[in-house]
Amino acid sequence: MRFAALALVALTLAPASALAEPAYMEVQRCIWRCLHDSKGASDPAYQQCVSRNCDGDDAGSKKRREARWTYGEHPVLGMSAHVTVGEEAFGIACTLSDYHPGNSAGASVRMTSGLVPAATQKQGAVSVYLGPFAVGGGRTFKADRRGFVEYSGNACEVGLPRLRRSKALLFLQEKILPSQTVAEDAPQALVVDGPAGPVAITQVSDLNQLGEAVRVPLAGAPAALDKLAKACPALRRQMREDCGSSY
């Protein structure tokens, strides 16, 4: 009994680091997230997610290393809600200081030029959202002399509702087939030129037929976008509008 009591005291007084959760639990949570975002353990999307995000010696720390969105001055993107993606950055900036009828381009999607090199080409940047899955479509960005590329529109057109409720934004490396080029109001028609031929993107599992995409994490995006809207009356007004089911 005395030994048991001493053991209990030692456990109670042990430093927090000694009682830290085992690293394998981070890996397990990663696997659970993949399972939650797929149709089940037999779904190829689930297997791809585990292989890409949960395998390897450093898998348990991947979530901790993932950058979170913030609002403030970025050295390239300027004042914006943004997130770093490796050596690159992605964000949303305000383009109207006040609301003006007839001028609805209140927001600018900005990213450093190296994030999606094809963004300024004719086919533009092709995107999909994860958690929940949704197709963003293709957008052609314009290069700005300040060092970033951007696409401007109102809150709905730049996809703010999806950025707020999704877990990640993926930019695909494949091109949209010319006969199937669509905007975000018709995402169900998105067909890309995959390695083995045309691929219709209608669900997560379709991504298994494509190459690796550029992943933009959306952790912290809602709070950062709220701060952006607070400083941008025009964008705040647009964010209150109903974008419809397509957004």
Q: Which of 107, 104, 159 shows the shortest CA–CA distance to 136?
A: 159
Res 24 pLDDT > 90: no
Average pLDDT, the chain: 78
Residue 94, SS3 per DSSP:
strand
DSSP structural state of residue 41: T
The confidence score (pLDDT) of residue 33 equals: 80
Mean pLDDT of 119-143: 90
Q: Which of 116-120, 154-158, 165-169 has the lowest mean pLDDT?
A: 154-158
Greatest mean pLDDT among 12-21, 52-61, 127-136, 185-194 lies in: 127-136
Mean pLDDT of 122-131: 89
Q: Is 88 exposed, middle or buried (0-12, 13-18, 19+ CB in 10 A)?
A: middle
The confidence score (pLDDT) of residue 47 equals: 72
pLDDT over 70, % of the chain: 72
Q: Is there a cis peptide before residue 233, judged by omega within 30 degrees of 0?
A: no
Q: Is 245 exposed, middle or buried (0-12, 13-18, 19+ CB in 10 A)?
A: exposed
The confidence score (pLDDT) of residue 190 equals: 80
Res 159 pLDDT > 70: yes
Distance of alpha carbon 7 from its chain centroid, rounded?
Answer: 47
The confidence score (pLDDT) of residue 31 equals: 75
Distance of alpha carbon 235 from its chain centroid, rounded?
Answer: 20
Res 214 pLDDT > 60: yes
Mean pLDDT of 7-26: 43
Res 30 pLDDT > 50: yes
pLDDT bin (cut points 50, 70, 90) of residue 104 is low
The confidence score (pLDDT) of residue 28 equals: 67
CA dist 3 → 9, 10, 11, 12, 61 (Å) = 10, 11, 12, 14, 37
Q: Which of 114, 109, 119 shows the shortest CA–CA distance to 228?
A: 109
pLDDT bin (cut points 50, 70, 90) of residue 116 is very high
Q: Rounded to an integer, what distance in angstroms lies between the CA atom of residue 224 and that of residue 10?
A: 44
The confidence score (pLDDT) of residue 14 equals: 41
Q: Domain limits of the chain?
A: 21-65, 69-239
The DSSP-derived string for 132-154 is: TTEEEEEE--EE-TTSEEEEEE-
Res 17 pLDDT > 70: no
pLDDT bin (cut points 50, 70, 90) of residue 41 is low
Mean pLDDT of 70-85: 96
166-213: per-residue pLDDT in tens?
A: 999 999 999 888 655 444 444 455 888 888 888 888 888 888 888 889
Q: Rounded to an integer, what distance in angstroms lies between the CA atom of residue 87 and that of residue 112?
A: 9
User: Residues with Cβ < 8 Å from 117, sequence gap 6 or more?
Assistant: none
Q: Rounded to an integer, what distance in angstroms lies between the CA atom of residue 10 and that of residue 195?
A: 59
Per the DSSP assignment, residues forming a β-bridge with 78 are: 74
**Pseudo-torsion of CA 58, 59, 63, 66, nearest 10°?**
50
Greatest mean pLDDT among 4-13, 40-49, 163-172 lies in: 163-172
Residue 102, SS3 per DSSP:
coil
